[in-house]
Structure 1
Amino acid sequence: MPKIDDLPSAYLQSCRDALTEEQAVSLAATNGWAHVDRDQVHADWDEIYRDLSRNLEERSPDDEDTQELIHRHYRVACRFYTPSPKAYIGMALFYRDNEDMRAFHNGYHEYMVEFLVNAITSFARHRL
């Protein structure tokens, strides 16, 4: 399975653009995601990231256990809005591109962001 950096840069940019566009529409339609229990979202993502970080070096982004954790991650993201496959990949790229998000996620494990980027890409391309 190709890693995200094997994909064309124009495709990756279209994923970033999809995230920006879909989030803007959702934010406008939901009064800034007022319906989302952010404390619960952060608690749920924390649990997923802790689960992912255990034995991360032995995991594959494509294995069934990892993909089930990514499915849980996606379901949490859907509390805000249902991202398209491209927007979900865009979210992973945002984790990598944004310094604060990269530092936050890599706080769980030094390779968490790169792992998430590939695991989310696999999930989005093959399961959404």
Structure 2
Amino acid sequence: MGTGAVRNSYEDECRKSLAREQAKSLAGTNNWEHVDRERVHQDWDVLYREITTFLDRGSLPGDQQVQELVRRHFDIICRFYTPSKEAYVGMSLFYAEDEAMRAFHDSYHPGMVEFMGAAIKVFAEQGSGFAPSAGAETPA
């Protein structure tokens, strides 16, 4: 099996984790009624504008300052629920694969989706602050 097949399998698991974890969270919170959506969108707007500056400067997804911005992105996500690493990577895949999400993110910068995807993957590999994977076996 080549690395492409392994990668696709991992990405498929990330997509499934995102769907599973979001569905569980939505069901348990009455569709995230606890979230101040207006504030979330304001905070994302500020954040994406800051990320655009780093993109224009030629920053790399793994740069410390970029990773600090990704931490802020993750913290905003955590207002809804705390995703596993796999679900967070799944979110970056959703941004790339969903036409409306791609258009929204790329409206800030034409390279935003790819940059965020790479930066989220670096953040996930560092692994701090994530919930356990919803698909993982847990002792009874």
Q: Which amino acid aligns with 2:124?
A: A
In structure 2, the residue matched to 1:72 is 72
Q: Which amino acid aligns with 2:37?
A: R
Residues 15 and 93 in structure 2, CA contact (< 8 A), matched pair in contact too: yes
TM-score in terms of structure 1 length: 0.93
SS of the residue corresponding to residue 23 of structure 1 reads helix
In structure 1, the residue matched to 2:115 is 115
Task: Describe how 1:20-99 pairs up with structure 2 within 5 A.
Answer: 20-57=19-56, 58-99=58-99
In structure 2, the residue matched to 1:127 is 127
Structure 1 pair 112–7 and aligned structure 2 pair: CA distance change class (3 A): farther
Q: Alpha-carbon deviations, 1:64-118, whole Å to 9, x = none?
A: 0000000000000000000000000000100000000000000000000000000
**How many residues are treated as equivalent by the alignment?**
124
Please identify runs of 4+ aligned residues in structure 1 that moved more than 6 A: none
TM-score in terms of structure 2 length: 0.85
**CA distance in structure 1 between the partners assigned to 2:100 and 2:67 by the alignment:** 25
Q: Which amino acid aligns with 1:60?
A: L
Identity of aligned residues (%): 50
Q: Alignment RMSD, CA only?
A: 1.5
More helix, by proportion: 1
**CA distance in structure 2 between the partners assigned to 1:46 and 1:6 by the alignment:** 36
1:6 is displaced (CA, Å) by 9.9
Q: Alpha-carbon deviations, 1:35-57, whole Å to 9, x = none?
A: 00000000111111000001404
Which blocks of at least 5 consecutive residues in structure 1 are unaligned?
A: none
Between 117-126 and 5-14, report the one with greater CA deviation. Answer: 5-14
Larger Rg: 2
**CA distance in structure 2 between the partners assigned to 1:48 and 1:6 by the alignment:** 34
**CA distance in structure 2 between the partners assigned to 1:115 and 1:6 by the alignment:** 23
**CA distance in structure 1 between the partners assigned to 2:27 and 2:54 by the alignment:** 40
SS of the residue corresponding to residue 22 of structure 1 reads helix
Which blocks of at least 5 consecutive residues in structure 2 are unaligned?
A: 129-140
